[in-house]
Amino acid sequence: MIASWPANAQSIKDSNPKDSILKVKKTTDFTIDGHGNAPQWSQAKWLNLPQSGGASSPYTTQFKILYSDTGIYCLFTCHDKKLTATRDADFLDLYNEDVVEVFFHPDETQPVYFEYELSPLNYELPIMVPNFKGRFYGWRPWNYEGARKTRHATHIEKEGSGISSWTAEFFIPYALLNPLPNTPPQKGTRWRANFYRIDYDNGTAGWSWQLTGKTFHEYDRFGTLEFE
């Protein structure tokens, strides 16, 4: 939930994340397999996540996003040579090991947003986060079953005796985001959002769509999703 490292203060000051608009295409619902093999993914372009801070890393990270009548689909591909992943249950502090994360803030007038983390071992951390002027903590979903449950899968690509990458694919139902305002999205709806990856091969390295400062939870620095 919390990640921080030195960031370039001038880069943060000069950037304008509200002008960073990602248009999200609509899709029919499909099956999650951890490989991103569903033909619907061809509708979305790969977007690079730039490295945002921490230790220097040679790895690249890309993601895709789609939406349907029932929820949001996300796909990450993460180049990697060594996995730091030992946690073996959901709702643990996954951010202390290799992980991808998304933050969705549907209504800027409310300081509450949704955070989702997925580890290479396919363990998840879905939480709602009230954030009052930097004072924040995550709350676990109640009655987390049926239509409120996410769907998620990961795949680790082997290369000889090691690995070359890992993939994370997941679906977040609108029912889980209830009662956040401005959900579900319609054509033309805008949400603030950000996308992250953390890797621990040689120190802590981070990637993010929009650059934040001390923590990932600076929601005023998020970019904008526009649903087509």
* Residues 14-66 pLDDT 10s: 555 656 899 999 999 999 999 999 999 999 999 999 999 899 999 999 999 99
CA 95 – CA 98 distance, rounded (Å): 7
Average pLDDT, the chain: 92
Residues of the chain with pLDDT under 70: 1-19
CA 115 – CA 1 distance, rounded (Å): 8
**The pLDDT of residue 150:** 98
**The pLDDT of residue 11:** 45
Read off the pTM.
0.93
**The pLDDT of residue 6:** 47
Do residues 59 and 164 make contact, with C-beta atoms less than 8 angstroms apart? no
Total count of residues recorded for the chain: 228
Residue 48 phi, psi dihedral angles, 5° rounding:
-80, 140
Tokens of 113: 């947003």
